[in-house]
Amino acid sequence: MIRIENMYKIYNMGDNEVRALDGVSLHIGANEFVSIVGPSGSGKSTLMNMIGCLDTPTEGKYYIDGTEVSQMRDDQLAEIRNRKVGFIFQSYNLLGRLTVLENVELPLIYAGLAKNERRHLAKEALKKVGLEGREHHRPNQLSGGQQQRVAIARALVNKPSLILADEPTGALDSKTGEEIMQMLREIHQEGNTVVLITHDKEIAKNAKRMISIHDGKIFSDCEVKYA
């Protein structure tokens, strides 16, 4: 489903260079549940942005379902970003001037759904993450963990087949975090692919496979035996 070959992402900053990805090759199949772990600054978010077609590499190839992404037309890329991938960003990326409900409806607008249908699905998604009653508030009226849950609801509302979750429980207490992980496990069981960046070893154990990144390189790629 996803194949990355020899990918580099190098930032040139005056007289020093930052090698965010330094020769990464990776294959993720359909219906996998993969966690990506590694130290702060090691390249996890950069890798995820590449997988989600939000960034382009300095070098290397990226194939989705056999088609090379750099050869895709803009409308094909937009289709992938808006319909096939659900992205939970490390810093949420909510739109401050929209209400919580409008933020969650955004992917459904891209999907071309009618207003009533969008409103209904978005409300259901917010209920699922425990934010019923906060629909008409703005993001800056919510706590950190509540904002994270809006970002989660938005990523899942379109039922995408690939979920990219960058530290999805970072701002949540363990009970709420476990509810979110339960949602991701269900999405995986429904046949979808989940790629999860996390620092939390407990959270990482939800995945069947753990990829460890260090200084922009893949350090290890392990099958998780214990459950």
Ligand X SMILES: Nc1ncnc2c1ncn2[C@@H]1O[C@H](COP(=O)(O)OP(=O)(O)OP(=O)(O)O)[C@@H](O)[C@H]1O
Instruction: Out of 17, 29, 30, 41, point to the residue binding its own copies (CB under 8 A).
Output: 41
103 binds ligand X (CB under 6 A): no
Instruction: Out of 16, 40, 71, 116, point to the residue binding ligand X (CB under 6 A).
Output: 40
> How many residues in total does the chain contain?
227
Q: Which residue of the chain is nearest ligand X when measured via CB?
A: 145
Cα(33)–Cα(14) distance, integer angstroms: 39
Query: For residue 56, what is the DSSP state?
Result: -
144 binds its own copies (CB under 8 A): yes
Residue 18 vs 28, nearer CB to its own copies: 18
55 binds its own copies (CB under 8 A): no
141 binds its own copies (CB under 8 A): yes
143 binds Mg ion (CB under 5 A): yes
Residue 142 vs 183, nearer CB to ligand X: 142
Residue 69 vs 153, nearer CB to its own copies: 153
Cα(4)–Cα(22) distance, integer angstroms: 13
Site for ligand X in 7-36 (CB under 6 A): 11, 13, 18, 20
Q: What per-residue string of b and e applies to 100-124 under the rule 16 or more CB within 10 Å gives b?
A: bbbbbbbbbeebebeeeebbebbbe
Query: For residue 135, what is the DSSP state?
Result: T
Nearest approach, Cβ of residue 65 and its own copies (Å): 29
Helix ranges (H only) for the chain are: 44-51, 74-79, 100-110, 115-128, 144-156, 174-189, 201-204
Cα(183)–Cα(117) distance, integer angstroms: 22
What is the helix, strand, coil percentage profile of the chain, to 5? 35, 30, 35
Q: Which residues contact its own copies (rule: CB under 8 A)?
A: 11, 13-14, 16, 37-41, 45, 90-91, 133, 136-137, 141-146, 148-149, 166-167, 170-177, 199, 201
Q: Which residues contact Mg ion (rule: CB under 5 A)?
A: 45, 90, 143-144
